[in-house]
Each structure stands twice: as structure tokens, then as C-alpha cells.
Structure 1
Amino acid sequence: MIPLERLIDALASLLDNGPYRIALSATGEEAFTPRRLLAPDCLLPVLMRMAEETWKTRAGQVSFGLAIRPDSNALCGQRLHAVHHAPLSLIILCTDQTLQKVADAQGTILLDALERHANTLCAVPASQPMPV
């Protein structure tokens, strides 16, 4: 199991040092800092489901073993509790591929575009709900 703080640190580094910038709208207003966006009750569960689906299209029915539970206080209504079966390097690569598909030419990712892509990619709930 990957400690969530380690996962958040690695993904924050991808956002901080990579070409990506997540914004609320085309006017360029940034939603939150990368670390806040990657909180377990913010976009982290969404990004992990998208990364898992990206991997599944390449490897078949292999699951990251995501423990995602409903949380009415979370931004997207879900909270990530754990990732049981995937190495950190694979998660980072799959997340990067997902972000590449949604980013515009300047690397900006609008939350609306991310939501549309997530709805297309992840039409069903987490593939293998795991106990916390």
C-alpha cells in the first residue's frame, strides 16, 4: 500500500514541475494549489480512477485496488482512503498520460474538461472497492 502523503507529494511534483496548470475557467483563474487539488477529498480520487482506467485499457482487468468511499464533504463527493495494488511509478505515468489527454497546448487543464474526460473514461464505479 502506498502512503497517501507520498502519493500526493509525487503528484504535486508532477503538477509543480511539469507543463500542467489546473484552472477553474478559461480566464486562467487557478482552482487551488497543486497540493490542495491532490487532497484525498478533492481531485485525488478522480485522478486515481482516471489513472486506473488508463492502465486497464493497456493491461486488461488489472486494478489499482482503490479504496474510495462516499464523502458528502468532499469536493467530488468521494474520498480516497488507500491505493493497495499499484506501484507509485505506474500511478504517476498513468496520471501523466491522463493529464496529457485533457491539457490544452499551453498545458492548462480546465476542471470542466477534466470532468468530461472523467465521465467518458470512468463510466462505472471503482473496479475493485477495497476495505480500508
Structure 2
Amino acid sequence: MTDPARLAIAVANLFEKRGYRFETGILGQDTIPPWLLAQPDAYLPVFLRLAEELWRQDTGARFGLRLTPDDRSLTGYRLTGLFHVPASIALLAVDALLERLATDRVLTFEALAREVLRVTA
């Protein structure tokens, strides 16, 4: 199993090294820092679930995500495990997802919501 805390660090590094910014459109909170986005109780579960769907479409396989309901998390879920793929595969899929969602390396809630709706439709 991949440790969620270590995966969070890797995803935050991916955001920083690739130059992605998550713009909120909220006055006073223009961007969300990568370290916060990538927390297991923030947006990491969403990014991984969407990345898993891209991976499933390409390979037919799933990541083996363990998402646990958590009332205190930002999205209602906390990532508690990643089982059936190495962290490197999950990171590649997250990178592909970010490239798909970003415009000029900028991500928004709207782009993320569109992708969530596309996957859940």
C-alpha cells in the first residue's frame, strides 16, 4: 500500500514542478497552495478518483483507492490507501488529468466540476 501522506507530498511536488496553479475565483483566497490541495483530506481523493477513471479508460484497470467518508474533510472523503498500482502510475495519471483540466497551467473549480460531472454521468 502507498502511504497517503507520501503520495500527498508527491502530488504537491508535481503541482509545483509543472507550474500548476489552482485559482479559486474567491476574493481574498485567489489560489490554493499545492501542499493544501494535495492533502489526503482535501482534493487528493478527487484528483486520484478522476485520474483513476482516465487510467481505467486506457487500461481497464483500477487503482485500488480506499476513500473513507470523513465529515471533517474538505470533500467529505479522506484518502486512506492506494493499493493496486505503484505511486508512480498514480502520479502519471494525475499528471495526465491536470494537463487535461488546466488552461495555461491554471486549474479552476469549474474545470474540476466539469470533469467530475463527465465521470459520474
Q: TM-score, normalised by structure 1?
A: 0.84
Deviation string for 1:76-116 (max 9, x for gaps)?
A: 11111111111111111100111111101x21000221122
Q: Are 1:44 and 2:44 matched, yes or no?
A: yes
Aligned partner of 2:55 in structure 1 is 55
Displacement after TM superposition at 1:39 (Å): 0.9
Displacement after TM superposition at 1:26 (Å): 8.4
Matched residue type, 1:13: N
Deviation string for 1:21-78 (max 9, x for gaps)?
A: 1110288910x22111111111010011011101000011x11111102112211111
Matched residue type, 2:68: R
CA–CA distance in structure 2, aligned partners of residues 116 and 77 of structure 1: 19
Query: Tell me, which stretches of 5 or more residues in structure 1 are unaligned?
Result: 125-132
Alignment of 1:111-130 (within 5 A): 111-121=109-119, 123=120
Q: TM-score, normalised by structure 2?
A: 0.91
CA contact (8 A) 2:21 2:105 kept: yes
Counterpart secondary structure, 2:16: helix
How many pairs are equivalent?
Answer: 120
Alignment of 1:1-132 (within 5 A): 1-25=1-25, 29-30=30-31, 32-60=32-60, 62-104=61-103, 106-121=104-119, 123=120
CA–CA distance in structure 2, aligned partners of residues 26 and 42 of structure 1: 17
Write 1 or 2 for the structure with the bigger share of strand.
Answer: 2
Q: Percent identity?
A: 33
